[in-house]
A and B are shown apart, each in its own frame.
Chain A
Amino acid sequence: MRAPSSDLPILFAGVDIRRGTTVLLRNLSFTISAGPPTVLIGPNGAGKSTLLRAGMGLIAPTSGAITWGGREAPSPTGRAIVFQRPVMLRRSCAANLAYALAAAGVFGADRESRLADLLRIVGLEAVADRPARQLSGGEQQRLAMARALARNPTVLFLDEPTASLDPAATKAIEDIVRTVSETGVKVVMATHDLGEARRLAGEILLLHRGELIESRPAQKFFADPVTDAAKRFIAGELLV
């Protein structure tokens, strides 16, 4: 069951985010609406992580405003995020999930069935009782996704989920993203990998030095990029 009022669309209006004297995001204005995945691309330090956290509601804008479904600061129950290096609790895989479910207010028999579902979706049934810290990188990433999905979110933020994974593990993650997106969850994902962006994106946001360079539907972006920076980036050049 979805939350009664949705967090979508997420509207960034003239958002600046500064930390001290460093500008992390500059004058960002765009909308995240329901639909296929929105993928953020851009070089390191472009501000992708910051944008995801801001969209999750973890960082407040220094100036400008972010609204979720028209609301200023709704409770975060409809949103979930998976960080670039997820931290596992010192307990078993299943216990980590149970913890996330409890934190989301799911108890009792309900919890048992949801736990089984989630393990199935991310393919971790076999290692459910293993200590989470002993899982491989790919498995931990999948567990982190399951923890996020335990919150039954409307919007799922993913920060470079396949950055340190081998192709097999990457494929596993991408399959989960596709499945989740098809069930109606809005996925907002940052990635390094242009190929992955091509495979998954419905919409592309290109960030560079904290600014939004280009924002277009994926097919159009790759076929016919408008800005010079986008062209160079797709061609594989380093944007400095």
Chain B
Amino acid sequence: MGGETLSALHLLLTGDPALFAIVRLSIAVSLSATILAALLGAPLGALVALTRFRGREVAIVALNAMMGLPPVMVGLVCYLALSRSGPLGAWGWLFTPKAMVIAQTILVTPIIAAITRQTVEDLWAEYRDELTAMNVGPLRRVATLLWDGRFSLTTAFLAGYGRAAAEVGSIIIVGGNIEGFTRTITTAMALETSKGNLALAIGLGIVLLLIVISVSALAWGVRRAGERFAG
């Protein structure tokens, strides 16, 4: 069993093209989804943190709850929406990486939005007097809070990326796990497991862990450098 696990790592080291295609797609899909989720979720979280509106408490509870959206459910909903018989069928995105990015963006946005909301709210409590006294307008206020909260927001980004990189339930449904086109590390793991190639599946899992650890280390490095410059 150890032999097969090592063989997965061996494939990685010798640059096996099939494995590299899978790795590249995994990173592309999860990273794209997390970036999109950040672009959507951070302003949303800041908005909920800073504006008083009716049903604000409900919105906060909903945002927090949606961090736990079941991936399979999101996958199914996207599948039905993107199917040729569905409302967005004309786009032809089903069984393509685009659909996978959409599904994962839906999963990750609440995570980033909820953490951003908490961060911005805490920061606003701290900065409120100063920013009001400096007569800072609302748009600039949001930008300032997001920038000054960048370290916590980096954590949010990493949490989101981790969720995207690890999940399989949604992307296997909307992507179809097509070899060479929509097969990622996690969907390949599911396939190899169902074929009984358990050791290979674990080997792939180790590759995935290495990627996630690298991303985390990179973010940590950026943060440390940032702290040195700007505290």
Interface of B (DSSP majority class): helix
Q: Which of B136, B148, B227 contacts A103 (CB 8 A)?
A: B136
- Taking a contact as CB atoms under 8 Å apart, the answer to whether A87 and B127 are in contact is yes
Interface pick from A61-69, A74-82, A116-124: A74-82
Nearest CB of chain A from residue B162's CB, rounded to whole Å: 25
Contact A87 B126 (CB under 8 A): yes
CA distance A16 to B126 in the complex (A): 27
| Contact across chains for B135 and A103 when beta carbons are under 8 A apart | yes
Query: Would you list which residues of chain B between 105 and 144 have a CB under 8 Å from chain A?
Result: 126-127, 129-130, 132-136, 140, 144
- Residues 107-141 of A, flagged 1 when their CB comes within 8 A of B and 0 if not, give 00000000000000000000000111110000000
- The answer to whether residues A132 and B231 also contact, given A86-B130, A87-B127 and a CB cut-off of 8 A, is yes
* Residues in B whose Cβ lies below 8 Å from that of A147: 134
- Point out which of A87, A131, A132, A134 has the most chain B C-beta atoms below 10 A from its C-beta: A87
Bound-complex Cα distance A86 to B129 (A): 9
- Bound form: Cα–Cα A134–B227 in Å: 11
The total of chain A residues at the interface (CB under 8 A) is 27
CA distance A151 to B227 in the complex (A): 28
* Bound-complex Cα distance A104 to B134 (A): 7
Question: Cβ of B144 and Cβ of A89 under 8 Å apart?
Answer: yes
* Supplied contacts A83-B130, A86-B130, 11 more A-B pairs, CB within 8 Å: A76-B135, A87-B127, A87-B129, A87-B130, A89-B127, A92-B229, A92-B231, A103-B135, A103-B136, A147-B134, A151-B134
Q: Which residues of B contact A (CB under 8 A)?
A: 126-127, 129-130, 132-136, 140, 144, 147-148, 150, 227, 229-231
